[in-house]
Amino acid sequence: LFYFLREGRGIVHRLKYLAPLRTHQEDFMIDSLQRVSRAVLLGSLLIAVLQGLAGALGLWIAGIPPLFWGTMMGLAALIPVIGTGLVWIPAGAYLYLFGEWHMAVFFLLYNVIIVTNIDTILRPLLMRRAAQVSPFLIFLAILGGIHAFGALGIIYGPLILTFLMAMLTIYGEEYKEVLTSRTGYTQHRNEP
């Protein structure tokens, strides 16, 4: 990351020189990848803050100090897959072990239904705007990325999907006449 930040422009310039694409196609590709990278980073931070706030509310209702543990939930939300579960699962177990099983059940259900779904619902929606593809494809890209690359798949999955969609757009642009004459299908304005 250090070298990419320090020498990023040179690296991009060299890649553009080596790529067998037209200048506007290279710019389209780079813009798409930058847009998705920014959305992944900012989206992850926004989701972590929202999960931390929602988790703090649940902690406050359960009688657990919300300021510290809500902050810990927000930080844990940045960890893919398990995330906020690092805080709310032990907190629910604590409530159950100390005889507050009603509150433990409420707290666990609250976190499973509310806090966890903040990530499940918002991440594909935030990615959709940046990648300009269906939330279902973003969801599949995130799941496939996690399966293939582990925790970093949350970043790599949408980036690979964006790269694929950009390449398909460029392919459709380059071979428009051949594709139209062979299939009889014409692309509509809003289609990628």
Where residue 51 falls among pLDDT bands split at 50, 70, 90?
Answer: very high
- pTM of the predicted structure, to 2 decimals: 0.69
**Distance of alpha carbon 28 from alpha carbon 36, whole angstroms:** 12
Where residue 56 falls among pLDDT bands split at 50, 70, 90?
Answer: very high
Out of 15-29, 71-85, 124-138, the most confident range is 71-85
Query: Given a cut of 60, is residue 191 above it in pLDDT?
Result: no
pLDDT of residue 6: 84
Query: Given a cut of 70, is residue 183 above it in pLDDT?
Result: no
Task: Give per-residue pLDDT as tens, 123-137.
Answer: 777 777 666 777 788
Segment 171-184 shows an average pLDDT of 78
**Distance of alpha carbon 145 from alpha carbon 59, whole angstroms:** 32
Contact status, residue 79 vs residue 86, Cβ threshold 8 Å: yes
**Distance of alpha carbon 152 from alpha carbon 147, whole angstroms:** 10
> Which range is least confidently modeled, 87-91, 118-122, 178-182?
178-182
Query: Given a cut of 70, is residue 187 above it in pLDDT?
Result: no
